[in-house]
Amino acid sequence: MSLETTILTDESIGEFAGTLRGSIVRPDDEGYDEARSVWNATVDKRPALIVQCAGTADVISAVAFAKEHGVPISVRGGGHNIAGRAVEDDALMIDLSPMNAVRVDPDAQTARVEPGVVLNELDHETQAFGLATPVGYNSTTGVAGLTLGGGWGWLSRRHGLTVDNLISVDVVTAAGELVHASETENEDLFWGLRGGGGNFGIVTSFQFQLHEVGPTVLSGPIVHPFEDTAAVLSEYREFTATAPDDATVWFVIRHAPPLPFIPEEWHGRKVLILAAFYAGEMSEGETVLQPLRDIGDPIVDAVGPHPYAGWQQAFDGLAPAGNRNYWKSHNFVEMTDGMIENFVEYGETIPTEATEIACAQLGGAINDVGVQETAYPHRDAEFTMVLHTQWTDPERDEECIAWARDVHQAMAPHATGGVYANFVPEEVGDQQAAYRENYDRLVEVKNQWDPENLFRLNHNVEPTN
C-alpha cells in the first residue's frame, strides 16, 4: 500500500519543529546539501524535509508527522548504504546520525549503541576495555545499517555475524510505539531485524555482546604482482580450506595504492593483495599464518602486530565518501578453478584505479548458526566476492556499471544465487536473493509490524495485507 503525499505547510512544519529536541533542515536552508548527501555520489536525491533526531522521542514524533501528512519515510544512520536508501526525493529523511552515544559495560562485556554510531566510534569505546564485537571492514560504515543487514568483518569467523552478537534492540514501530525486542520479548521482530534490514521499524538502540580482542592483533597485507594471481590464489585456496576460525584472509585485485609500505615503483600497477588477520594469540597466529606468507614471491609482506582499531581503519582510504560507486556481489561455497580464471581475466580489465575485485573469507562461526535462526540466510557461504567499482566522472557511469555486471554474470555459474543485502546496489530487486528461504517468514513479520509498508525505502519486503 502506498501513502499519498500531501503538501507540507510552514505552519505544520513549525508545529512539528516545536515537538523536537533535534533540528529540522529544509531545502532552502544552509547545510541542506550536506545533510542530504550520502557516501555514494551516484545517489543525488532531494528530500522534502530532514529531521536530525536528538533522541528516541524525536524519532517517534517524526514517524507520527510523516504518517499524518502522508510523506514517505527514509532513514539515515551512517549514510553508507550502496543503494542510497537513506535519502529519497520528496520524502521525510529521519536522520539518526546525531544519536551517536556508546555505553560499554566492561564487566558484563556488553555495549549499548545508538543508531548514528559508525564503526570507528564503536571500536574507540570498546577497545578502551580491550573489547570488540564483529563489525564491518570500512570504519566509516554505520553500525545500524550494517547490523540490520547481517554484518560481518574480521572477527566473524571467530565470533559470528554482527547480528549473532546482538542481544536486544529498542524499536520505534510503524504504529509510533517504542518496543523492546530480544530472544525473549517480541521474538519474531527480533528475528526479522537480524538480517531483514529496515523493513520493520527504526532501531534507536542496539545492545551487543562484546569479546576480548586486542588491543594489538596480528594482521597486515601481503602484496603480490598481479601476474602471479592464478598461482597465488590456488595456494590461497588450499590455505583457507584448513585455516582455523581465528584466521581470516581476504584478497583484493586492484591497482596498488600509494601506501607507504608499498614500494613506490609499484604504485598504480596492478597487484593482488592478501589481507591477513588473526583473532587469537599472537604467537599462535605467527605459526598459523606462516604458510600463507610463504606463498610465492611477494612484493611486500607487512603482516605484524597492529592495533585492532587501526586495522579496522586500514582500508578506509580506498573507499572514500564522494566517489561514484556501483557494487555487485556473489556468495560461494568453494573457490573453483573457473573462479580463479575469471579473477585473472577481469582483473586485466578493471576500469579505474579505484576499482577493486575483493573476496572475503567467511565460514567458521558464521556458519555454525542455522539458516532459520536469524533472518540472515547465507549460512553456507565460505567466500563473498564484492566488485567495488568506483569512479569520479559521471560520463563513465555506463562503462563502469557494465563492467561490474559483466564480471557478476561470469561468476554466476560458480555462485550460490544468494547475495548479501548490504551489497545490493539497486533501489529495488534482488530481495529473493538477499533473503532467500527466509523471505516468506519475513513477509509474515512485515504483515504484523508494518502492514501498510510505511518503512519501504529499503530492500523491501512487501506485506500481503
pLDDT 10s digits, 98-150: 999 999 999 999 999 999 999 999 999 999 999 999 999 999 999 999 999 99
Least confident of 215-229, 286-300, 379-393, 416-430: 416-430
Q: Does 233 have pLDDT greater than 80?
A: yes
What confidence score (pLDDT) does residue 2 get? 39
Q: What is the CATH number of the domain that holds 120?
A: 3.30.465.10
Beta-carbon contacts of 34 under 8 Å, excluding residues fewer than 6 positions away, are: none
d(CA 413, CA 415): 6
With respect to residue 72, please indicate whether it lies within any of the assigned structural domains: yes
With respect to residue 2, please indicate whether it lies within any of the assigned structural domains: no
With respect to residue 19, please indicate whether it lies within any of the assigned structural domains: yes
- pLDDT tens-digit profile of 329-347? 999 999 999 999 999 999 9
Q: Predicted confidence band at 430 (pLDDT cuts at 50, 70, 90)?
A: confident
What confidence score (pLDDT) does residue 64 get? 97
Domain termination residue (choose one: 95, 119, 138): 95
With respect to residue 194, please indicate whether it lies within any of the assigned structural domains: yes
Q: Does 465 have pLDDT greater than 80?
A: no
Residues 172 and 34 in one domain: no
Segment 431-449 mean pLDDT:
95
- pLDDT tens-digit profile of 169-228? 999 999 999 999 999 999 999 999 999 999 999 999 999 999 999 999 999 999 999 999
Only one residue has cell 519543529, namely: 17
d(CA 341, CA 348): 11
Q: What is the CATH number of the domain that holds 25?
A: 3.30.43.10
Residues 291 and 355 in one domain: yes
Residues 373 and 415 in one domain: yes
3-state secondary structure the chain: CCCCCCCCCHHHHHHHHCCCCCEEECCCCCCHHHHHCCCCCCCCCCCCEEEECCCHHHHHHHHHHHHHHCCCEEEECCCCCCCCCCCCCCCEEEECCCCCCEEEECCCCEEEECCCCEHHHHHHHHHCCCEECCCCCCCCCEHHHHHHHCCCCCCHHHHCCCHHHEEEEEEECCCCCEEEEECCCCHHHHHHHCCCHHHCCEEEEEEEECEECCCEEEEEEEEEEHHHHHHHHHHHHHHHHHCCCCEEEEEEEEECCCCCCCCHHHCCCEEEEEEEEECCCHHHHHHHHHHHHCCCCCCEECCEEEEHHHHHCCCHHHCCCCCEEEEEEEEECCCCHHHHHHHHHHHCCCCCCCCEEEEEECCHHHHHCCCCCCCCCCCCCCEEEEEEEEECCHHHHHHHHHHHHHHHHHHHHHCCCCCCHHHCCCCCCCHHHHHHHHHHHHHHHHHHHCCCCCCCCCCCCCCCC
Q: Does 159 have pLDDT greater than 80?
A: yes
With respect to residue 311, please indicate whether it lies within any of the assigned structural domains: yes
Segment 244-251 mean pLDDT:
98
Residues 202 and 289 in one domain: no
pTM > 0.85: yes
Domain termination residue (choose one: 95, 129, 152): 95
**Percent of the chain with pLDDT strictly greater than 70:** 99
Beta-carbon contacts of 140 under 8 Å, excluding residues fewer than 6 positions away, are: 39, 78, 80, 118, 119, 120, 316, 321
Residues 142 and 176 in one domain: yes
Domain termination residue (choose one: 42, 70, 95): 95
With respect to residue 189, please indicate whether it lies within any of the assigned structural domains: yes
What confidence score (pLDDT) does residue 65 get? 97
Q: Does 295 have pLDDT greater than 60?
A: yes
Residues 320 and 292 in one domain: yes
Q: Does 5 have pLDDT greater than 90?
A: no
Residues 223 and 371 in one domain: yes
With respect to residue 462, please indicate whether it lies within any of the assigned structural domains: no
Q: Does 92 have pLDDT greater than 60?
A: yes
With respect to residue 457, please indicate whether it lies within any of the assigned structural domains: no
Residues 256 and 145 in one domain: no
Q: Does 453 have pLDDT greater than 70?
A: yes
Q: Predicted confidence band at 428 (pLDDT cuts at 50, 70, 90)?
A: confident
Residues 267 and 344 in one domain: yes
What confidence score (pLDDT) does residue 313 get? 95
Residue 7, number of CB atoms within 10 A of its CB: 9
Residues 337 and 392 in one domain: yes
Residues 38 and 119 in one domain: no
Residues 266 and 398 in one domain: yes
Segment 162-172 mean pLDDT:
98
Query: Could you tell me the residue range of the domain that residue 22 belongs to?
Result: 10-95
What confidence score (pLDDT) does residue 6 get? 55
Q: Predicted confidence band at 4 (pLDDT cuts at 50, 70, 90)?
A: very low
Q: What is the CATH number of the domain that holds 295?
A: 3.40.462.20
Q: Predicted confidence band at 1 (pLDDT cuts at 50, 70, 90)?
A: very low
Segment 45-69 mean pLDDT:
97
> How many structural domains comprise the chain?
3
- pLDDT tens-digit profile of 10-56? 899 999 999 999 999 999 999 999 999 999 999 999 999 999 999 99
